[in-house]
Each structure stands twice: as C-alpha cells, then as structure tokens.
Structure 1
Amino acid sequence: MSLLGLALVLAAAVCHATWNFQLKRIGGGPELVWLFSALTVVIYAPLALWVLATQAPVFGPEQILFLAGSTGLHMAYFLLLQLGYRKGDLSLVYPTARSTGPLLSTSFAVLFLGEILTLQMALGALCIVFGVLMLTTGGRVKGQRVSTSLLFGLAAGGLIGSYTVWDAYAVSVLLISPLLLDYVSSVARVALLTPVALSRRATIRVQWRDHRAGLLIIALFNPLAYILVLYALTFTPVAYVAPTREVSVLLTVLTGSLLLGEGQLRHRLTWAVVILAGMGVLVTS
C-alpha cells in the first residue's frame, strides 16, 4: 500500500470517527439524515460545480446506474446506522459494523473485482471476526441491548461491504469523480427524505437550534471521510483500503466509553486492539 493511499485512508478514519460521535450525541431519525445531507449539499456545491466545469464528465447509462445504486446503498446505511445508534451503544454498533465491513468488502472484491485473497489476508480476517465477537459479547450475549447492538452492527457491516465494492468499481473502472459520486448521493438523499423532513419540521428546528455546531461537523466530515477513501480506491485495491479504514474503530470506542458514558473501556479497548492487529495483518499482506 502506497504512503499516499495510507495517508488518505488514515485521514478518512479520523473524519469518520468524528462525525459518528456527533451523530450519536445528537440522536434522531430520518429527519436528522435529511438535515445534515442538506447542509452537505450547500457546503460542497462550489466544489461539485468546479469538478463539473473543469473535468466535463460524461454520464452514460452505466454511470447513471452506478450513481443510483450508490445512492440507495448509502441511504440504507445511514438510516440503519441511525436506528442502531438509538437502540444500541455507539461503541458496540460502530466497531461491529466497521469490522465486519472490510471482511465482506474483501470477499466481494475477490468475487466481483477479481482481487486475490492470500493466506495472510484470511488470517487477518479471522482475527478481526474473533475480536468483534469478544468486543461485543465477551464470549456471552447478555441482555437485549448487547444483542441488538450486535445485530445492527452486522447489518450495517453488510451494507458497508456492498457499497465499498460498488463504489470502488464506479471510481476505478467507470472513472466517476469521487466527489461527484458522493455529492450526487447527498442530493438524492435530500430529495428522497424531503417528505419526511416536511412532516417533522418542528424537530428539525430544534435540532438546528440545539446542535448547530455538531450538524455542521457532520455535514463537513461525513462526505470528506468517504471522498478521501474513494480517491484512495482509484489506485489502491479494496483489500487494502477497507481494513485500513478501521483505525476509526479505536477512536470511536474511546469516545463512546469516555465521552458518552458507555463504560467497559478496558474490555472494549483490549478487543479493539485485537481487531486492529487483524487489520494490520491484512494491510501488510
């Protein structure tokens, strides 16, 4: 993995952990997704217009299909993640999703993009799975909240694996601009969720009044985190990029346990390190 690719993905991990912390802290449903997506559309509009003007991209049927598919996968991920954060713990839902995601991404990349899976990659994947199981259950499933967090995390991980490979093909083979791919997804989310937003105008006003700074952070860092990853995917295989992103797991475990009072810091940090060790094995293969 090149130094540039590594730098892009590590920067993306910091951005990703930051906006996820703010998302959990604010709380909400589809109206919150609409609100930060609308802010994203406004903030990134000048950059999107600049790309259109300077690159003059061509959108044929295949490009349009992949733009639409990416939009659907990402919106499903956001809505599911929001529900998971309301029902479970950030430092359980997020690490589970972010650790199963690269395992599935790598598998899908082998199946659909022709990437090669080595023994070292397989060993790293097994280490990740074991770390996730111990992080979320400690070998035992206790109570509804733990099992609920695990299920939401696994479902979100499935969507992460799907959209990572889908988008990797879009930017590396179809040559869709990473910024435009993410921007179109934001615009579509705003359009599709507008009926929900109109029915929850009072809630949106309260969220904007009480959490303006956090919403602006989400609107800025959410697309930035993924745009950085997409640029890395234009010259780096999924099997390297997807696991390296998971540095954000440690950051999120720390914020969930320390700043949100979810507790169990020693236990969760120990197994988060095991997960990262598995990712390290994957990255160096």
Structure 2
Amino acid sequence: MSFAGLALVLAAAFCHATWNVFVKRIAGGAELIWLFSILSVLIYLPMAVWIVVVQQPVFGPWQIGFMLGTVALHLGYFILLQTGYRKGDLSLVYPTARATGPLLSTTFAVLVLGEVVTFQMALGAGIIIFAVLMLTGGIKPGARHLSASLVFGLGAGVFIASYTVWDAYAVSVLLVPPLLMDYASNLGRVVVLAPVAYRRRALMRQHWVQHRLGVVVIAVFSPLAYILVLYALTFTPVAYVAPAREVSVVLAVLAGSILLHEGNLKERLGWASIALVGMILLTLG
C-alpha cells in the first residue's frame, strides 16, 4: 500500500471518528441525517460546481448510472441498518456489519475487479476485522433476536461491500470525480428523507438550536471522510482500502471511552493495538 493511499485512509479515519463522536453526542435519528446532509449539499456545492466547470468530467450513461446506483446502495445500507437496530440487537447488528463489510469488499474486489490478495494482506485484513469485531462488542450468543440481528448485520455488510466496490469502479475506471460521487449520495439522502424531516421538523429545530456546532462539524467531516476514501480508491486496490478504513471504527470506539466516558479504555486499547498490528501487516503486504 503506497504512502499516499495510507495517508488518505488514515485522514479519512480521523474524519470519520470525529463526526461519529458528534453523532453520538446529539443522539438523533433520520431527521439529524437529513439536517447534516442538506448542510453538506450546501457546503460542498461550490466545489462540486468548480469540478464540473473546470475539470469538465464526462457524464455519459455509465457515469450517470453509477452515480444513481451509489445513491440507491448507500440508502439501502442506511435503511437496512436502521431497520436492524429496531428489530434486532444493536450490539450484534453493528459489529456484524462492520466485520463482514470489509471481508466481503475484499472478496468482491477479487471476483469482480480482478484484484490479487497476498497471504500477508489477507492476514493483516483478518486481524483488523477481528479486532474491530471485538471492539464493537463481538458476537453475543445470548443476544435478543439473534437470527434477525445476524440477518440484518450480514445484509448491511453486503451493502457496505457492494457500494465500496461499486464506487471504486466508478472513480477508478469511469473516472467519476470522488467529490461528485459522494455529493450525489448526499443529495439522494436529502430527497428521500425529506418527508421524515418534515414530520420531525420540531426535533430538527431543537438539534440545530442545541447542537449547531456539532451539526456543522458532521456536515463537513462526514462527506470528507468518504471523499478521501474515494480518492484513495482511484489508485489503491479495494483489498487494501476496505480493511484499512476500519481504523475509523477503532478511533471512534477509543474516542467514546476518552471523550464520552463510555469506559473499558484498557480493554479497548488492547484490541486497538491488535488492529494496529493488522494495519502494519496490511500496508507492508
């Protein structure tokens, strides 16, 4: 893995952990997602226009189709994950999704994009995935709604893998600018979640009054985190990027212990260290 690719993924992980800390603090739902998504659309609009005018990217049927596809895949992931949280066990759905996502992403990259994975890369990715699984709670046999939780978690993991490989092809082969790829996803969320936001407008105003700075931080860092990943995917194989970006989960969990006083810092540092070993193996593979 090149130094530039690693730097982009690590910067993306920092951005991802930052906006997730603020999301946890605000503890909102779909109305919060609509609020920061509409702000993201407005904040990144000048850059999106600049790319269209100055770079003049190609917008043929394939490019447009893939941009619409990423909207559908990201929305499908969000809807399935939220449904899983309601009908399953959060402590089981989330770790299952985060662990299976990069594993399936790498598998899809080999099968669909023809990427090659060495033993050292596979070992490093496996260590990272296992450490993230344990950091996010691990598989609990006694969890409520075990079957439903696993189904929704695996389904969310399939969506993660699908949009990762889909977006990688769009930005690396079809040459869709990464910022425009993410911009389409944000715009799609604004349109689809508008009815929910309207029904919850009072709660949305409350979020804005009480957590204005946090909402703005999320609106800036949430797209930036994925845009950096997409730029890395323009010259770095998915087999490297997908497991490496799980470092964002490690940082978010550690931030939860330190900044939000969620506890278990010593245990979480131990699993974070194991994830770091996996990262070293992966990047040197």
TM-score range, shorter chain: 0.7 to 0.9
Equivalent residues of 1:244, 1:280 under 8 A apart: no
Kindly report which structure 2 residues correspond to 1:81-230, keeping only aligned pairs within 5 A, or say none.
88=90, 97-137=97-137, 141=141, 143-144=143-144, 154-230=154-230
**TM, length-normalised to structure 1:** 0.87
Give the corresponding residue for 1:68. Answer: 68
Task: Indicate how the Cα distance of structure 1 residues 154 and 121 shifts in structure 2: closer, same or farther if over 3 A, else same.
Answer: same
Task: Indicate how the Cα distance of structure 1 residues 34 and 134 shifts in structure 2: closer, same or farther if over 3 A, else same.
Answer: closer
Task: Indicate how the Cα distance of structure 1 residues 277 and 196 shifts in structure 2: closer, same or farther if over 3 A, else same.
Answer: same
**Identity over aligned pairs, percent:** 64
Over the aligned positions, Cα root-mean-square deviation in angstroms equals 2.8
* More displaced 10-residue stretch of structure 1: 10-19 or 128-137: 128-137
Asked if 1:279 corresponds to 2:262, the answer is no
Equivalent residues of 1:141, 1:147 under 8 A apart: no
* More displaced 10-residue stretch of structure 1: 5-14 or 133-142: 133-142
Task: Indicate how the Cα distance of structure 1 residues 268 and 55 shifts in structure 2: closer, same or farther if over 3 A, else same.
Answer: same
What is the distance in 2 between the residues matched to 1:192 and 1:43?
19
Give the corresponding residue for 1:18. Answer: 18
Equivalent residues of 1:74, 1:163 under 8 A apart: yes
* More displaced 10-residue stretch of structure 1: 234-243 or 12-21: 234-243
Shift of 1:132: 4.2
Shift of 1:85: 7.5
Give the corresponding residue for 1:37. Answer: 37
Shift of 1:49: 0.6
Kindly report which structure 2 residues correspond to 1:48-67, keeping only aligned pairs within 5 A, or say none.
48-67=48-67
Q: How many residues align?
A: 283
What is the distance in 2 between the residues matched to 1:146 and 1:253?
23
Unaligned 5+ runs, structure 1: none
What is the distance in 1 between the residues matched to 2:277 and 2:28?
34
Equivalent residues of 1:246, 1:279 under 8 A apart: no
Equivalent residues of 2:16, 2:248 under 8 A apart: yes
Equivalent residues of 1:37, 1:190 under 8 A apart: yes
Q: Deviations over 1:158-200 (max 9, x none)?
A: 3222211110000001110111111111111111111111111
Amino acid at match of 2:163: Y
Equivalent residues of 1:12, 1:226 under 8 A apart: yes
Equivalent residues of 1:250, 1:269 under 8 A apart: no
Shift of 1:248: 1.7
Shift of 1:125: 3.5
**TM, length-normalised to structure 2:** 0.87
Asked if 1:27 corresponds to 2:27, the answer is yes
* More displaced 10-residue stretch of structure 1: 148-157 or 270-279: 148-157
Amino acid at match of 2:21: F
Give the corresponding residue for 2:245. Answer: 245
Task: Indicate how the Cα distance of structure 1 residues 277 and 83 shifts in structure 2: closer, same or farther if over 3 A, else same.
Answer: farther
Unaligned 5+ runs, structure 2: none
Q: Deviations over 1:233-268 (max 9, x none)?
A: 111111112222222232111122233343222223
